[in-house]
Amino acid sequence: MPSGWVLPKLLKVLGLEGDKASIIKFEFNPKDGIDNPALSLAEDIDGEATGEPRFYLLSKGSTETFGFCLHEELGCQGHVIRQVELGGLAQRRGLQDGDRLLQVNGHFVDHMEHQRVVQKIKASGNQVLLAVLDGDSYEAAKALGRDLSQMLPADIRPRLCHITRDKSGFGFSVSGPEGVKGTFQLSVRQDGPAERAGVPSGSWLLELNGHSVRSCSHSQLARKLKQSGSKVTLLVASGPVEEFYRLRGLQATAALADTSWLPFKARELHMVKGDAGYGFLLKEDDYGSGDVGQFLWDIDAGLPAEQAGMKEGDRVLAVNGESIEGLDHQETVLRIRAHKEQVTMLVIDPASDAFYRSIGLSPLLFLDDGDPALGSCTPSLPSPSDSPGLCHIDVGPKGPGSWLMAAANSITITQSPCREEQKRLRHAF
């Protein structure tokens, strides 16, 4: 690739084409190789350096931590990166103490309540894409009334699409350079199954049925498609989105995806208790791979649960704005009873639940930013083991008060004891 092409192309992507005062620099730790450098952009205007957002893709093992804490502090705006573990993943990638978190997996979070942001990081599992801004630049931008969301790319999410074939096929064809693995561009038939499922023509294929295609040859991909049967799930990226990740040395995965085209959705149920109760049975049971969940059964006709749209076999994801993933039966019952006369639940049907399990991701990860089911909430119970939660209360830097510190899937300061194996529980309401 000609060296003279790279810089203008990069400036165009970042919205700074024609800005001769811009300085591009790459920052990465040689220990981590060059697969995931952090790209930071600094503009030097009239001698004053103004920081720009930096992007980091953090990928950890199931027994590891991301190595940082996320704070909400008195007298300090934003979601503050703190306690960056020396030698940990976050520190190796380039996160710094005092950075402000702007985006999680392509979702702007600066305006969100702190506990909701923690939940987004937790739901992301072992991989999360963060956009941060250094503290000084953040405070300067806030003082000037700058819209921080305008400092970020408009949409950097790949798209997750689920296609059901018709008599003529899936409605797309694949092309790529001969002899080159993992580079596949899609042509989409007008009004075919792929187009109806949201696949943009000309997009690049990243994953097939939850697995990366980076190491696939064209013949291997064709065989995998044939083995998919009548349904297939694709992770695709438009040209600008693919370029965004490629220029930063980042890998786009399903955890970062826009899922608005998927037919699989969680549902919010709001119920006001009647004289005969809500009219459902809550049962704890296994739902695959040793995971335990809380399920809804024995729904009484004509009572609030049925009227709200509850279906037998639905699994409960959240109660009154708080995730119950990882909670046991009795803790979930207490959440339901916290508001004596009414309750709001986020639930998912078995087919949708099975889909998200098949791609190894929590459905909570893909709730829209404005979804009321996980909006404002006040923690009322200890957080489950291995999840972010309230872990420290102290005096703020400007007098009496408190710092609310939530461990962003990182350093666990307090944990509830590990739950022992117990009998399956049921509770009627």
Give tens-digit pLDDT for 412-421. Answer: 222 223 333 3
Q: Please, are residues 373 and 266 in contact by the beta-carbon 8 Å criterion?
A: yes
Helices (H) and strands (E) in the chain, counts: 10, 23
Percent of all residues in the chain with a pLDDT value above 70, rounded to a whole number: 74
pLDDT of amino acid 362: 85
Residue 373 has pLDDT above 50, yes or no: no
Percent of all residues in the chain with a pLDDT value above 90, rounded to a whole number: 56
Give tens-digit pLDDT for 221-277. Answer: 999 999 999 999 999 999 999 999 998 888 898 988 999 999 999 999 999 999 999
pLDDT of amino acid 74: 86
- From 255, 288, 256, 261, select the one nearest 164 (Cα to Cα): 261
Query: What CA–CA distances, in Å, run from 305 to 268, 279, 345?
Result: 12, 6, 10
Question: Looking at the domain covering 54-151, what would its CATH class be?
Answer: mainly beta
Question: Bigger pLDDT: 40 or 362?
Answer: 362
Dist CA 415 CA 389 (whole Å):
9
How many alpha carbons fall within 13 Å on the CB side of residue 118? 28
Give tens-digit pLDDT for 155-210. Answer: 889 999 999 999 999 999 999 998 899 999 999 999 999 999 999 999 999 999 99
Q: Please, are residues 390 and 376 in contact by the beta-carbon 8 Å criterion?
A: no
Sign of CA dihedral 72, 73, 75, 81: negative
Compute the C-alpha angle 325/331/333, nearest 5°: 105
Place of tokens 């165009």: 12
pLDDT of amino acid 368: 60
Place of tokens 């509850």: 310
Amino acid making up residue 98? G
Give tens-digit pLDDT for 101-125. Answer: 999 999 999 999 998 898 889 888 8
Classify domain 267-365 at the CATH superfamily level. Answer: PDZ domain (2.30.42.10)
Dist CA 379 CA 115 (whole Å):
8
Cβ neighbours of residue 312 closer than 8 Å, sequence gap 6 or more: 296, 297, 298, 299
Dist CA 358 CA 368 (whole Å):
21
Amino acid making up residue 57? L
Strands (E), 165-305: 172-175, 185-188, 204-208, 211-212, 231-237, 267-272, 281-286, 292-297
Dist CA 294 CA 329 (whole Å):
7
Dist CA 390 CA 394 (whole Å):
12
Compute the C-alpha angle 276/279/281, nearest 5°: 130
- From 69, 73, 119, 80, select the one nearest 414 (Cα to Cα): 69
pLDDT of amino acid 50: 58
pLDDT of amino acid 187: 96
Give tens-digit pLDDT for 73-89. Answer: 888 899 999 999 999 99
Residue 369 has pLDDT above 60, yes or no: no
pLDDT of amino acid 6: 39
Q: Which helix (H) or strand (E) holds 220?
A: helix 218-227
Cβ neighbours of residue 8 closer than 8 Å, sequence gap 6 or more: 17
Give tens-digit pLDDT for 276-298. Answer: 999 999 999 988 777 889 999 99
Give tens-digit pLDDT for 204-234. Answer: 999 999 999 999 999 999 999 999 999 999 9
Give tens-digit pLDDT for 318-344. Answer: 999 888 888 899 999 999 999 889 999
The pTM score is: 0.69
Residue 388 has pLDDT above 60, yes or no: no
Question: Looking at the domain covering 159-256, what would its CATH class be?
Answer: mainly beta
pLDDT of amino acid 155: 84
Pairing label, strands 159-164, 172-175: unpaired
In this predicted structure, which of 13-27, 245-259, 385-399 has the lowest mean pLDDT? 385-399
| End-to-end CA separation in angstroms for the chain | 66
Amino acid making up residue 316? V
Q: Which helix (H) or strand (E) holds 141?
A: helix 135-143
Residue 134 has pLDDT above 80, yes or no: yes
Residue 313 has pLDDT above 50, yes or no: yes
**Domain extents in the chain:** 54-151, 159-256, 267-365
How many alpha carbons fall within 13 Å on the CB side of residue 73? 20
